[in-house]
Structures are given as structure tokens and as C-alpha cells.
Amino acid sequence: MNKSPRKSLRTNTVPKPGARRATTAVLLALSASAAALVVPGPAFARASPGATAAVPPIRWGACPEAEPPYPAPSPKAQCATVKVPLDWSKPKGPKVGIFVARYRATDPARRIGVLMSNPGGPGAPGSDDALYADDPVSGYTPAMLQRFDMIGFDPRGIGRSQNAECDESIADSAPTRPRNAVEFERMRILNGQLADSCLKRTGPLAAHMDGESVARDMDAIRAALGESRISFLGHSYGTFLGERYARLFPGRLRALALDSAMDPSRPDAERYLTDGSVTIDNTLKRLAAWCEKDAACALKGKGLLKGKDLTAVTDELFARADAGTLRDPGPNGPTRTKVDADKLSDFLTFALGKGSPEATAEQLAALYTGKGEVNWVPTGTDSASRLVLCRDYDFRIRDYAQYLAIRKRAAQAAPHVRYNAQSLDTVLGCQGWTMPPKPGPVQAKGDLPPVLVANATHDLATPLPGARRMANSFPKASLFTMDVVGHWLYRRGGTEKAMRAIDTYLTNPEGRPEN
């Protein structure tokens, strides 16, 4: 999943290229806890496996102009809207428009077919993949542009696809790290009010932004394109959409490449948090090994290790935070602002996840000495993510006591960082959500092509254990890994090796010699 600061769901401009690559004071009675678990959500019925509503052929036209400062999309891109059922269990009911963009193959004689993609988020507009397909930095390689029609789309409720809207002021007032049972219940009730505001401002669409519905939209786009099969490239949460599509429409996939894979096995809150937390703890150990050998490590250069490794330094920082003696550093020494253990865990998650050892070591040295600067990252998760993830996964926690027990066990598994802040943000954002988790679809009959899953070994957003489960969920799948820190391998630069591997697979998924 991509991490980004909380923002309004309103997106009326074409985003800039690169977005596709690349990033939450009244006490309430405790008696509300029982009610919070049984708040009724919108009813839903199962759509038939493999069912796709009749869709007319796409009528392509010019793409909307981008508003400054965003650059204009490629002049070769074409745009259209595909109408799909708002509720797929009622195919003849109200419709919603899905914004679709296309960049046609530049060598029609060697065209393989359609490559549909999704950049994840959830909540990121996906039409960029086609609108900026030929961008020299964030686009596809010329060889890929020759062979495929690139198809990008804004998922329902996102961007130009009838954007969902919620009352973000409610999210801003909810506790992000509840410290007691009263705060935990206050957070749940406010989360429920936020969900209700999404339904009030957006309408029924807010209850139908789950991965299964989007996967069915993808097949409607396929049908409107007149294609019998598609290839699909999903990044981050987009890998979950690819997995859902494979469950529903296995025979309509030519190739399926999943970059930085979500866990498809519907983990509960504890496993989701623990997998992410262990990943961050292991990344800290990796940083410690680098710091021991490299003079560029600020802790080593300033003589602060004194025979200790970097994990011992963070253990000491946590001890000071627990004692209330850790302070935010300043240019001339410690300030009067306390840094508690939660704030320290939040910092470690996002500093380690960026993969810049020099910058992380410099900031740890600042925390340790009290002199310097730390880049604090706001916690919380945006409403778009909740509208999707709280329906696709079941992260519900019974009460504050269970929450504390989960936090304790996660900290035991990851003692030097305690938890993964992004994973915890997601889990807490779903507590009290009034639109309940939706059951996963049954597996439709049909043969799947070989699948390629790619993942970094140190990925804070989509940890490697989840990628392994993703690969194991398919009868024929390969797992490509790179021993790097970061999220999203399909890009030029340090992980271009993964990009080449994915392109090779997409061009020839069966690995047969080309004519």
C-alpha cells in the first residue's frame, strides 16, 4: 500500500507523472463498546462468479486537460468513461462511471494485447499509467509501449470516477494512538461517524468500493475493449485487485504480474501488525550492520555507539521515552517537547522505510544527543483507504484490552521498534467502521497463467511474508525478490532489475521462445 498524508478525496485534476511509481473532546461512555461491534452496515448480496454486465464498446475521445502545475498528458493518450453497475449484485440497477485512459501500442504489427494496470493506494487514480505512459522517467520502456495497449483507470470512487467524499474534520479529531479504554472507544465512535459521513456525502457508492467490485469493473472494461483476455500489472494494493480478478475471471487473464504484493489470505489485525512490525525490526538490524561498517553512519562518526550496536541505541531511546525524559532535538540542544514511545515508533517506521541509511542515522544521532533535527511524519490513514481496506480485510478488535494484548505481542516480535506505524494506522482506522468487511469471492473455474510476484525483502507497506502467501495462493507462481529496502520495485533506478524481470514476464509469461 502507498502511504500518503491525509487529504481530501476530491481529485479533479490529472495528477503529475510519477504518482503511479511511487505515498487522521468529548468523553464517551464505555457502554458504547458493545454497540460499536454491532452497528449495522449496508447490506450486500453476492454477485455471480464470473458475471459481467453487458457493456457497449468504448467510445474514445480527447483526454481532459491537466490543471497547472501538472503537466499535460501524452498527446497520444485517449480517454473514455465506462458505465458499470454501482452494486454488482444488481447488474440492472444504478450505474457509476469509470474513467479509463488508453495509450495504444506503437508497433501494431507486434502488438500482444492489452496491459491493464493499477498503482494501488488504495485511493490513487490509475489513469496516469496510460496518460503518462511514454514519460521518460515514470513511464514504460519503449519496448513495452510497442507491444501493448496501456490501459489505466481510476477505480470507482477515486479521481474522475465519481469521487467519494467524507467529512475529514471527523478524522482529524479522532485519537490516532489511544492511550486508554475511553480513548479507544472515542476513536471507534468517531471512525463510525466518519464512515457515516462518507455514505451521506457520497451516497451508496461509498459502500461499494471494495476490491471485488473493482475487479468486476476491470472485466467490464475488458469487455468494452472487445478483448477476450488481458494482461495485468498491479502495484501495492493493485496486487490485491489482480488477485481478486484471478479469483473471479481466471480464464480471462493472459498474464498477471504483482509488484509489492498484499497478503491475500485476509490476515487479522494481529498478524497484519506483526508481519509489518517484524519487517521494520529487521530493517533496523540491517541499518545496524551498515552502521558498524560504514564511516558515513553519523552515530559512529560522532562516537555515540561506544561498543554498542544501533539496536541498543534505539532500546535506550525507548527507555528514555518510557521514562518521559526523551525530548525533541533542537539546533542548540533538547527542546521542551517530549517524545513518547509511540512517536518514536512512528518515526522509526517511516525513516527506516525510506531506505536512506545516512539520513536515518543522522536523525537517530539527533534524538540521542538532543541536538539536530528530526523529520516527524503525521500518523493516520486517509478516508479513501478506509473505504476500501475496511471492506476487504477484517481488522476488527474486540476492545481496548485485546488491543493492548496485540500491541504487546507485536512488540515482543519486534522489540527494537515495537510496531509498524503504517500497519497500525490501517488497523486502527477500521475500528468502529460501520460498513462491515465483505466476504471474499469464491474461486471461479478456469485455468490461470503462470503468475509473477515481485517484492523487496524489506518493504514496510507490503512485507515479504504477505508476498510469499500471494505467490502460494496460485497453482503456478514465481516469487522474484530483491534484497533492498523500499516499496514498489517496478521503476527505473536502483530496482530496474525487477522492472526488466516483470517486462520480460509480461511479454512472454509462458517463457517460450518468440518467433
Higher pLDDT, 511 or 319: 319
Mean pLDDT, the chain, rounded, equals 89
DSSP reduced 3-state for 493: coil
Q: How many CB atoms lie within 10 A of CB 468?
A: 16
Please say whether the beta carbons of 391 and 209 come within 8 A: yes
Global pTM?
Answer: 0.89
Cell numbers that stand for 404 in this block: 493492548
pLDDT for 37: 28
pLDDT of 449 above 50: yes
In angstroms, the CA 158 to CA 281 distance is 34
**365 contacts: CB under 8 Å, gap ≥ 6:** 298, 299, 302, 304, 372
Q: How confident is the model at residue 48 (pLDDT cuts 50, 70, 90)?
A: low
Domains in the chain, please, with CATH?
A: 70-164+209-266+446-507 (3.40.50.1820), 268-439 (no CATH)
pLDDT of 41 above 80: no
Q: How confident is the model at residue 244 (pLDDT cuts 50, 70, 90)?
A: very high
Cell numbers that stand for 400 in this block: 481496548
Please say whether the beta carbons of 73 and 134 come within 8 A: no
Higher pLDDT, 272 or 51: 272
Q: How confident is the model at residue 26 (pLDDT cuts 50, 70, 90)?
A: very low
In angstroms, the CA 510 to CA 257 distance is 13
Please state the φ and ψ torsions of residue 314, each to the nearest 5 degrees: -65, -35
pLDDT in tens, 89-137: 999 999 999 999 999 999 999 999 999 999 999 989 999 999 999 999 9
